[in-house]
């Protein structure tokens, strides 16, 4: 990570109501960590969660912070589940990630 690395701990939560609620968790960045990001809006990041590398896009939470969706594969690799406190090191991504294009749209 670079000198712009933001380090913090956060608790993983499970969505209250979702058909796929068991397939992902989320965390809310502490406001002081979110304030170090270059944007109040969506922000592409790269970093680690419990030492496990990942890339993602943070979403604004409407409370002057950001939240991060943590897919099951990443939380399992990080040895974490809903209710656990995880350690993160993140930094703004050098490049925005390419969106995943659905197959039917690609064929159009």
Give the residue ranges of the chain where pLDDT is below 50.
none
Q: Is residue 83 assigned to a domain?
A: yes
77-106: per-residue pLDDT in tens? 999 999 999 999 999 998 766 667 777 777
Q: Is residue 48 assigned to a domain?
A: yes
Q: Is residue 107 assigned to a domain?
A: no
62: domain CATH number? 2.40.30.100
For position 61, what pLDDT does the model report? 92
Domain of 47? 6-12+22-95
- Check: CB of residue 65 under 8 Å from CB of residue 31: yes
Q: Is residue 69 assigned to a domain?
A: yes
The tally of domains found in the chain comes to 1
For position 43, what pLDDT does the model report? 93
């Amino acid at each position: 990570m670079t000198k712009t690395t933001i380090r913090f701990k956060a608790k993983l939560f499970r969505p209250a109501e979702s058909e796929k609620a068991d397939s992902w968790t989320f965390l809310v960045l502490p406001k002081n960590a979110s304030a170090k990001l270059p944007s109040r809006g969506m922000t592409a990041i790269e970093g680690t969660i419990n030492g496990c590398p990942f890339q993602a896009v943070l979403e604004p939470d409407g409370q002057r912070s950001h939240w991060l969706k943590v897919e099951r594969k990443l939380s399992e690799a990080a040895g974490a589940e809903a209710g656990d406190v995880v350690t993160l090191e993140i930094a703004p991504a050098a490049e925005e990630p390419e969106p995943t294009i659905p197959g039917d749209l690609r064929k159009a």
